[in-house]
Amino acid sequence: MVRIIPASPKIGAEIQGVNIKTMDEATFRTVYQAFLDHIVIVIRGQDLNEEDFMAFSSRFGELKPHMTKKAHHPRYPNLMLMDNRILNTRTGEESKTASPLLIRIGNVWHTDTSYDYITAKATGMYAINVPSVGGDTLFSNSYAAYDALPSGLKQKLEGRSASHIYGGRLKRQQERMEDSERGRAPAIHPMTPTHPETGRKSLYFNDGQIMSILGLEQAQSDALIADLAQRTASPDGDYRHKWQKGDVVLWDNRCSIHCATGDYPANERRTNWRSTIMDFGWQAQRSSLQARSA
């Protein structure tokens, strides 16, 4: 029997009693509804190969290779191979201990791929090697972040959009980029979008990659970005996921932010596969913004 157990008051649920490899359509519908209701779903104890994990992820939507080519799985580009010792998956370049740069990847509150015009609806991760301590992932609910804004600030953000760029203001992400990945045009996204499936409003904010809020002087925009960063980043988030080998965690990027804590021993290995699931549901909202800002 499928059981859905909330992981915290604001976000996350563990789904028990499912086997990802054999899940029928009716069970998947329950899992999908839990994803919409709880934003982050956790399914523990799975024994998957790459194709099993891709097949499960693609039940949520179309998969896409991540921009960072150095992290593509060598045989399955729709997956990222996130391993703290593999510096470049295509050349096979490795370091003997965990790379300090890779330990800190994802260690900022963010939503995935806001630098793309069509963003990631969801991200899935499967844990292969888990450090003995640390290496957790924190999640926060962006519907709640929107609801908690003072009404004056909600009004100020209503109808506004912001530009997001790959690499953004994050030095360590820029260091991972290849020349062909630089110089992309910014993507424009609404700051308080309506979720296409739940109809709820959220605060769409990505601290590392948001560059400016359209229609404001740069100084005003910088001040507002700094204010929103304070409001959205909290030391522990709303839910802390402590990974176990065999965990599948899948989150909704349209209404949450996450942050990798990165605080594990450098002599231990952390390895995950990660899938990027596309969102075509916001295209209409975004087309009109893109046209207005052109």
> Residues interacting with ligand SIN, by CB under 6 A?
106, 112, 123, 137, 258, 260
Which residue lies nearer to ligand SIN by CB, 139 or 282? 139
**Phi, psi (degrees; rounded to nearest 5) at 187:** -100, 145
CB atoms near residue 4 (< 10 Å): 17
Tell me the closest approach of the beta carbon of residue 94 to ligand SIN, in angstroms.
18
CB of 112 to ligand SIN, least distance (A): 6
Strand partners, 256: 141
What residue is closest to ligand SIN based on CB?
A: 106
CA angle centred on 208, ends 207 and 210, rounded to 5°:
70
Q: Which is nearer to ligand SIN, 73 or 258 (CB)?
A: 258
Query: Around Cβ 203, how many Cβ atoms within 10 Å?
Result: 25
Q: How far is the CB of 153 from ligand SIN (least distance, A)?
A: 27
Residue 160: exposed, middle, or buried by beta-carbon count in 10 A (0-12, 13-18, 19+)?
middle
Rounded to the nearest whole angstrom, what is the least distance from the CB of residue 200 to ligand SIN in the complex? 23
In this complex, which beta carbon is closest to ligand SIN, that of residue 43 or of residue 157?
43
Q: Are 287 and 294 in contact (CB under 8 A)?
A: no
Tokens of 257: 């932010």
Smaller CB distance to ligand SIN: residue 201 or 208? 208
- Minimum distance from CB of 82 to ligand SIN (Å)? 6
Length of the chain: 294
- Give the position of tokens 């003995």: 132
H helices of the chain, where? 25-38, 50-57, 100-103, 142-147, 151-157, 171-176, 218-232, 283-293
- In this complex, which beta carbon is closest to ligand SIN, that of residue 34 or of residue 170? 170
* Residue with smaller CB distance to ligand SIN, 54 or 260: 260
Token reading at 206: 């990505």
Residue 43 CB, nearest distance to ligand SIN (Å)? 16
